């Protein structure tokens, strides 16, 4: 435990935040012009790297 919170609780919150972030990113990707989509692709890559670290 870290100051009253278990690691499992923190991990669950991080996974929920990751899921919501992906949903919002997908929604925004559908709404923007093609020239801006590259920025969102980089963000998707960043999320994938974060998820890899979370799954270790």
Q: Decide if 42 is inside a domain.
A: yes
Q: Decide if 38 is inside a domain.
A: yes
Q: Decide if 48 is inside a domain.
A: yes
Q: Decide if 47 is inside a domain.
A: yes
Q: Decide if 1 is inside a domain.
A: no
Domain that holds residue 40: 7-54
Q: What is the pLDDT of residue 34?
A: 84
Q: Decide if 29 is inside a domain.
A: yes
Q: What is the pLDDT of residue 8?
A: 87
Count of structural domains, the chain:
1
Determine contact, residues 44/24, Cβ cutoff 8 Å.
no
Q: Decide if 2 is inside a domain.
A: no
pLDDT tens-digit readout, 11-53? 999 999 999 999 999 999 888 888 888 888 899 999 999 999 9
pLDDT classification of 7: cutoffs 50, 70, 90: confident
Q: What is the CA radius of gyration of the chain?
A: 14
Q: Decide if 33 is inside a domain.
A: yes
Residue 5 has pLDDT above 80, yes or no: no
Q: How much is the pTM?
A: 0.73
Determine contact, residues 50/18, Cβ cutoff 8 Å.
yes
């Amino acid at each position: 435990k870290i100051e009253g919170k278990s690691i499992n609780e923190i991990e669950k919150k991080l996974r929920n935040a990751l899921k919501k972030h992906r949903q919002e990113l997908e929604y925004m990707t559908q709404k923007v012009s093609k020239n801006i989509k590259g920025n969102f692709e980089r963000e998707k890559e960043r999320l994938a790297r974060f998820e890899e670290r979370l799954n270790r």
